[in-house]
Amino acid sequence: MKILIVFTGGTIGSSVLNGVADVDEKNSGTLMNICQNKPGIEFEFVSPVNILSENSDCDTLSVICSFMLSLDYENYDGVILTHGSDTLSFTSSILGMMLSWVKIPIVITAANYVLSSPKSNGKDNFTASLDFIKSFHEGHHSNAGVFVIWKNENEEVSVHISTRLNEADPYLDCFQSFGGVPFGYMKNGIFKRIESPLNPISTFPNPQTEFLRGKNIALKNDILLIRGYVGLDFDCIDLKGKSAVVFKLYHSATACMSGKSTSFSEFCKRCFKSGVDVYIYSAKQRGYIYRSAKDISQRVQPMYNINTSSAYTKLLIAYSLNIKEILNSTVFYENLPG
């Protein structure tokens, strides 16, 4: 059994000096020591980038995606990528879609505190990631693709489908899956799926993006992500250099349609005049529709039942790589059932 460990920095790869946490290549030794306590497993270690994840940008994502697409997955039984928690949901979403064709488990994990802190969940997360791959290898589950493993305080270690991971709660440092239900959890080293109509029976490879295998990815910073809030002044938004806008609706799939500078409808008109496409999420499909939502639906392209990270990164893929057809399909479970 062989597992590749990909270090990219983040809190799980940081140390504290004079009260300041920063990435520290030496800190990977703690995780290597955990690996040494797993007999019967051969490990390979690599680090394509080493940053605090809040400093991630489209160039960083391009490096990580290109590296992960360059791997020969037939040589491994599983891959673990360590990452910072701040932008974890964005990296996990884009990798989940780009690597939807992989036939082994790829686990992305992180830590809430540096590993030297007794409060850190990093060691538990990393150990559970190893166990998830081991239990796949031993036939306890058949879930292939990209997942995120994270332990919230006073909970079991959760397993999330990568494209469903929401951004962390800023107070509790906890992660949840879009829809409120993780895919499963780890118990005594074994993966346990959570029974829910939101969860697939098992995850299966989707060859839709396999043509990206081996490609050098160059993501463009031309997708503008905006969220609705009371008093949002659209006149302050600069569309220069943008190919598309993706707008987060209120939970009822609505947006402000009144006022001149606060009307989403008026903003859409400006986008169209500038040649900028407009997308909305998470749109709803149900038996009735609000008047404002009806006005929106006549002007823009909806993205249904999808969270922020996957809506944004799906558009990054579609526009940067000129494969807009992926917007009309579910690549790796990013769209919840209607």
- pLDDT for the residue numbered 296: 62
What is the CATH T-level fold of the domain 223-320, as seen in this structure?
A: Rossmann fold (3.40.50)
2-212 and 223-320 in the same fold: yes
What is the pairing mode between strands 244-248 and 277-283?
Answer: parallel
The pLDDT assigned to 163 comes to 98
Q: What is residue 72's predicted lDDT score, i.e. its pLDDT? A: 98
Q: Can you give the residue ranges of every domain in the chain?
A: 2-212, 223-320
CATH class, domain 2-212, is: alpha beta
How many CB atoms are located within 10 Å of the residue 17 CB? 9
Residue length of the chain:
338
What Å distances lie between residue 237 and 63, 169, 227, 264, 312, CA to CA? Answer: 29, 27, 12, 12, 17
Residue 288, pLDDT score? 47
- The long-range contacts involving 206-212, CB below 8 angstroms and separated by at least 24 positions, are 206/100, 206/101, 206/331, 206/332, 207/100, 207/101, 208/100, 208/101, 208/326, 208/329, 208/331, 209/97, 209/98, 209/99, 209/100, 209/101, 209/317, 209/326, 209/331, 210/100, 210/101, 212/69, 212/98, 212/321
Q: What is the CA radius of gyration of the chain?
A: 20
pLDDT at residue 116 in the model: 87
Q: pLDDT tens per residue, the chain (338 residues)?
A: 999 999 998 878 777 666 776 676 666 677 888 888 788 899 999 999 999 899 999 999 999 999 999 999 999 999 999 999 999 999 999 999 999 999 999 999 999 988 888 999 999 999 999 999 999 999 999 999 999 999 999 999 999 999 999 999 999 999 999 999 999 999 999 999 999 999 999 999 999 999 999 999 999 999 999 999 999 999 999 999 999 999 999 998 899 999 999 999 999 999 999 999 999 998 876 544 455 556 565 669 999 999 999 999 999 999 999 999 999 999 999 999 98
